[in-house]
Structure 1
Amino acid sequence: MSWNKIVYNFRELQLMGTLSGGQSFRWVHHKEDDVWVGVFAKTVWKLKENDKCLQYEVIGSLLDNQTETKSSGNIKTEKVDYKTILEGYFRLDMDLGVCYKEWSSKDELFRKACNQFYGIRMLRQEPVENLFSFICSQNNHISRISSMVEKLCTHYGEKICEYDGKDFYAFPEVEKLSEPQVADCICLMSLNHLEALPVDTHVYQIAAQNYLPHLRGKKNVTDKMYVEIGDHFRSLYGHMAGWAHTVLFCADLKKFQQKENCNTEENSKPKKKRKKL
């Protein structure tokens, strides 16, 4: 991928203050190359700024799969206008210099602050993500909120792509968050219903690959599949099926696999003999 550009006055947008100031919790700053990587509009972006323009790359997007429209019986593919999406996200159609000048004339404290914190944009965010992000924000700090939001996306969102060894997910639709597994998580983890088994994408993959091969290759977990998977593990493990399956879930996670591999390699190394005194 090559960098695309949006030309603007550098004082009109400051990425550091805008993306790490507590508005959105899905941006990570890579200091070594001064690049921001984040997710919005079901798209994974890389952003970089200089004194002349905003540079951006689209790493991956689910929007590419939603651009086919039918017209007179024919399928027409429309190209996604990522530049317009990005401009809308940062509200770059608004002249921030004019606003800053007006606010500075009315407030001495703002006039002093805006010298360092220029170009702070109010992001145009998706309502559902914004709502759930700030539900998570109650009595939490930014890093923990970011972690909570990412867990929501990982467990319930649709995978966009993999980049630099990490999987990126879109924020889940509100319908997805209202499905039965949201309630099953609470039952299992908070209400002592140890037989409850939340069936998300990862649980489905474990079941399909190892227990229920006829479910392989399905794009979505239907209500019927949800019940079938849960009933299978309840028949297998009994009244603590949810707890038992959590062990399988952990074993399937890459980070635990890597840790296990490290432990195995460590244990396989020949031990050094102690020197006699």
Structure 2
Amino acid sequence: MQWTKLLCNYRELQLVGTLNGGQSFRWTYNKDTDEWIGVFSKTAWKLRQKDDYLEYQVLGSLLPEFSGNNTQIKNGNAKTCEESIFKSLLEKYFRLDVNLGSYYKEWSAKDELFKSACQQFYGIRMLNQEPVENLFSFICSQNNHISRISSMVEKLCTHYGEEICHHEGITYYAFPEVEKLSEAKVADCICLMSLNHLKALPVDTHVYQIAAQNYLPHLRGKKNVTEKMYAEIGDHFRLLYGDLAGWAHTVLFCADLKKFQSTDHKKEADEGVKAKKKRRQ
């Protein structure tokens, strides 16, 4: 199966922080091959990153445009028009129309903590997700950790979603239609991650701790996040970062996650940067 290239410098898109930082729960990483496999837009994808481009394979798709020749797609024989559509889907999903480097410079000039965090967490993108999937994923997120949320979301897809394809012994499913699921709402997560309201800022316990420890010390030691505190924290970051406040805070969120602070992750990040610099020499 051939890989298709999408121009994108690694400084503008970091897959590990973006796909594994608590935004989406349907991506898995193969350390041996340095590849990511996941599902969005009723399509199963395989991704890997190079210095100046992103490579992808389409493992299968249920999109109406390809319902008549899904076998060709599964075998990696996508036509030129199909490649164009898949590239557009990836560009939209990662919001590649946004010049992230310029925003990083702006945010770094305003905030020393961000300036420090972005040295390792460069290229963290706010995924443009489908509202229904995002909604139910964050319903599952209440009082859970990321690995358990991922398991719950996959069970939803397995039991209620439509089968996309088989790949290396694994069956991939689309996220189920809303009619098959019940209603509820985690408002700011949905607004930020799938409705294009990039200044929305979901304030959970973790976000509260970041704000209280680094920006709003008078909020330290509170047992619960009240409505007034929720609004104050959100307004603080919107004043600091502007229209993409939710995006900027996601970088701080990733930097604060314990799994990204482990020795192995720091070593991998450092080695990755060194390897890229060496290839340029």
When normalised by structure 1's length, the TM-score is 0.59
2:30 aligns with: 30
The higher radius of gyration belongs to 1
1:183 aligns with: none
* 8 Å Cα contact 1:9/1:53 also seen in 2: yes
Q: Matches of 1:33 and 1:152 in 2, distance apart? A: 28
1:40 aligns with: 40
Q: Matches of 1:79 and 1:107 in 2, distance apart? A: 44
2:86 aligns with: 82
Code of the residue aligned with 1:105 in structure 2: it is A
Offset of residue 79 of structure 1 = 4.4
5+ residue gaps, structure 2, are 69-79, 184-281
1:109 aligns with: 113
The alignment status of 1:98 with 2:99, answered yes or no, reads: no
* 8 Å Cα contact 1:38/1:45 also seen in 2: yes
Q: Matches of 2:9 and 2:158 in 1, distance apart? A: 36
Aligned residues: 171
Q: Matches of 1:137 and 1:67 in 2, distance apart? A: 33
Q: Matches of 1:66 and 1:172 in 2, distance apart? A: 19
Which of 159, 176, 195 matches 2:180? 176
1:55 aligns with: 55
1:15 aligns with: 15
Q: Matches of 1:141 and 1:92 in 2, distance apart? A: 28
The alignment status of 1:142 with 2:146, answered yes or no, reads: yes
Which structure carries more relative contact order (alpha carbon 8 Å, separation 6+)?
A: 2
* 8 Å Cα contact 1:26/1:146 also seen in 2: yes
The alignment status of 1:5 with 2:9, answered yes or no, reads: no
Which of 106, 119, 125 matches 1:121? 125
Offset of residue 29 of structure 1 = 0.2
The alignment status of 1:162 with 2:186, answered yes or no, reads: no
Offset of residue 66 of structure 1 = 5.6
Three-state SS of the structure 2 residue aligned to 1:21 is: coil
Offset of residue 64 of structure 1 = 5.2
Offset of residue 8 of structure 1 = 2.0
Code of the residue aligned with 2:91 in structure 1: it is E
* 8 Å Cα contact 1:7/1:52 also seen in 2: yes
Residues 176-214 of structure 1 show CA distances to partners (whole Å, capped at 9, x for unaligned) of 2259xxxxxxxxxxxxxxxxxxxxxxxxxxxxxxxxxxx
When normalised by structure 2's length, the TM-score is 0.58
Offset of residue 67 of structure 1 = 6.5
Three-state SS of the structure 2 residue aligned to 1:116 is: coil
Code of the residue aligned with 1:96 in structure 2: it is L
Q: Matches of 1:26 and 1:161 in 2, distance apart? A: 15
Q: Matches of 1:8 and 1:151 in 2, distance apart? A: 33
Percent of paired sites with the same residue:
68
Three-state SS of the structure 2 residue aligned to 1:12 is: coil
Q: Matches of 1:33 and 1:64 in 2, distance apart? A: 31
1:194 aligns with: none
2:276 aligns with: none
Moved over 2 A (4+): 64-68
5+ residue gaps, structure 1, are 69-77, 180-277
* 8 Å Cα contact 1:159/1:167 also seen in 2: yes
Offset of residue 50 of structure 1 = 1.1
- Cα RMSD (Å) of the superposition? 2.0
Code of the residue aligned with 2:167 in structure 1: it is Y
* 8 Å Cα contact 1:67/1:79 also seen in 2: no
Three-state SS of the structure 2 residue aligned to 1:56 is: strand
Mark the CA change 1:58 to 1:64 in structure 2 (over 3 Å): closer, same or farther: farther
